[in-house]
């Protein structure tokens, strides 16, 4: 059996990983089989439902836990199942915003050995949100780790910032990682697959990578349920970093809502299968989500789910 290359996408909440992945599919041959393995938090599964409407061969999910720590082993099992069921030309792994890339690299390298080379780690790609990276870099060890431990850095949303602001982002990235190539994405056109496929990563070949095993708690996730419209501009950006979910309009049309650090992207969603009228998952700093989430839910006349899902590394 030929070896299946694996491309891993990491990046902080709202960096634009899913958009970039879906843009890649349009540039691949029609008969090229790609399976997406996605680590998602909350019970809304927005990005996975959107991905299922794409040309992906399949979308597999690992939910409500981080596959680099809490769900260690599930990723390897999922990859083996994907190989046996779909025989893809490539597997793309999209991590949660809190994933440590070194831990994922370790697991994939171990799977390479355990399967006699049926899989290979092609590259770890880190997506950077140029609008917000300098802000969350100061408070997130994970964001620093993702930018430091990677084969390629993709700079997303750079067209929304000034040249001076972009220079500051690049200075920070060069300080964290002065060796890794940095590529600017072309809006929703993403990046040429030829630039990020076929890298043949050298990460974790030695098994001595320094950030393996680091632990911390960073992000809290809560889900809001409602039956009408939204007021996303009321969310405090210092504590709520991301909101994503589905809303049914008065004419019955469903839309997906993807809000990150004040910027909102809305798309029509035709997949159906969403209970209620509004289901939103809010993500932010651990310990700072519930209070604004309850306030936001009260504004909508809705309620907050009973369980909190923590992205724990």
Mean pLDDT over 66-79 rounds to 67
Range with the poorest average pLDDT among 11-15, 22-26, 162-166, 234-238: 234-238
Mean pLDDT over 34-42 rounds to 80
Mean pLDDT over 201-226 rounds to 60
CB 131 within 8 A of CB 262: no
Q: In 3-state terms, what secondary structure has residue 53?
A: coil
CB 34 within 8 A of CB 9: no
Mean pLDDT of the chain: 79
Mean pLDDT over 45-70 rounds to 62
pLDDT tens digits along 277-306:
777 778 777 777 778 777 777 776 665 654
d(CA 183, CA 189): 13
Give the β-pairing of 217-226 and 303-304: antiparallel
Q: Which residue has the tokens 């390298």?
A: 109
Give 208's contacts (C-beta < 8 A, 6+ positions apart): none
Say what the pLDDT of residue 141 is: 82
d(CA 43, CA 33): 27
* The pair of three-digit structure tokens given for residue 226, joined into one six-digit string: 């409602």
* The pair of three-digit structure tokens given for residue 132, joined into one six-digit string: 């917000």
Give the β-pairing of 34-40 and 240-248: unpaired
d(CA 129, CA 12): 8
d(CA 65, CA 309): 8
pLDDT for residue 214 is more than 50: no
Q: In this structure, what are the phi and psi dihedrals at residue 89, rounded to the nearest 5 degrees?
A: -80, -25
Say what the pLDDT of residue 289 is: 79
Quickly state the pLDDT bin for 218 (edges 50, 70, 90): low
Mean pLDDT over 238-262 rounds to 77
pLDDT for residue 275 is more than 80: no
Say what the pLDDT of residue 183 is: 96
Q: Angle at CA 185, nearest 5°, toward 181 and 186? A: 145
Q: Which tops the pLDDT comparison, 30 or 197?
A: 197
Range with the poorest average pLDDT among 74-78, 180-184, 253-257, 297-301: 297-301
Q: In 3-state terms, what secondary structure has residue 48?
A: helix
d(CA 203, CA 110): 12
What is the 8-class DSSP label of residue 40? E
| Percent of the chain scoring above 70 in pLDDT | 73
Mean pLDDT over 177-206 rounds to 91
Give 172's contacts (C-beta < 8 A, 6+ positions apart): 133, 134, 137
Say what the pLDDT of residue 120 is: 96
Q: In this structure, what are the phi and psi dihedrals at residue 80, rounded to the nearest 5 degrees?
A: -65, -40
Give the β-pairing of 263-269 and 254-260: antiparallel
pLDDT for residue 7 is more than 50: yes
pLDDT tens digits along 111-163:
999 999 999 999 999 999 999 898 776 667 888 889 999 999 999 999 999 99
Mean pLDDT over 247-252 rounds to 78
From the list 286, 282, 288, the residue with the least C-alpha distance to 300 is 282
What is the 8-class DSSP label of residue 89? S
Q: In 3-state terms, what secondary structure has residue 126?
A: strand
Say what the pLDDT of residue 193 is: 95
- How many other β-carbons are positioned within 10 Å of the β-carbon of residue 176? 18
d(CA 265, CA 256): 8
Say what the pLDDT of residue 271 is: 72
Q: Which tops the pLDDT comparison, 267 or 147?
A: 147
d(CA 85, CA 234): 45
| Percent of the chain scoring above 90 in pLDDT | 36
d(CA 178, CA 103): 22
Q: Angle at CA 193, nearest 5°, toward 188 and 195? A: 110
């Amino acid at each position: 059996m030929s070896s299946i290359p694996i491309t891993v996408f990491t990046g902080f909440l709202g960096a634009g990983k899913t958009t970039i992945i879906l843009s890649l599919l349009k540039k691949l041959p029609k008969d090229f089989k790609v399976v997406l393995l996605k680590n998602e938090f909350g019970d809304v599964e927005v990005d996975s439902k959107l991905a299922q409407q794409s040309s992906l061969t399949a979308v597999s999910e690992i939910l409500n836990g981080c596959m680099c720590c809490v769900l260690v082993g599930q990723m390897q099992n999922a990859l083996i199942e994907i190989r046996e069921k779909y025989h893809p030309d490539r597997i793309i792994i999209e991590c949660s915003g809190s994933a440590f890339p070194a831990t994922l690299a370790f697991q994939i390298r171990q799977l390479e050995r355990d399967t006699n080379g049926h899989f290979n780690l092609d590259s770890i790609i880190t997506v950077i949100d140029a609008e917000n990276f300098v802000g969350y870099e100061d408070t997130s060890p994970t964001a620093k780790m993702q930018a430091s431990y990677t084969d390629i850095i993709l700079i997303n949303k750079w067209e929304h910032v000034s040249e001076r602001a972009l220079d500051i982002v690049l200075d920070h990235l060069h300080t964290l990682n002065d060796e890794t190539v940095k590529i600017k994405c072309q809006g929703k056109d993403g990046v040429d697959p030829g630039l990020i496929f076929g890298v043949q990563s050298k990460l974790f070949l030695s098994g001595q990578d320094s950030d393996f095993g680091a632990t911390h708690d960073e992000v809290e996730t809560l889900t809001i349920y409602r039956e009408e419209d939204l007021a996303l501009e009321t969310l405090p950006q210092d504590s709520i970093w991301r909101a994503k979910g589905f809303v049914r309009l008065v004419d019955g049309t469903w839309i997906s809502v993807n809000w990150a650090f004040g910027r909102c992207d809305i798309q029509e969603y035709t997949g159906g299968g969403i209970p209620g009228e509004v289901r939103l998952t809010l993500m932010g700093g651990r310990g700072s989500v519930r209070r604004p989430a309850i306030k936001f839910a009260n504004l909508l006349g809705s309620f907050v789910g009973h369980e909190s899902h923590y992205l724990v590394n």
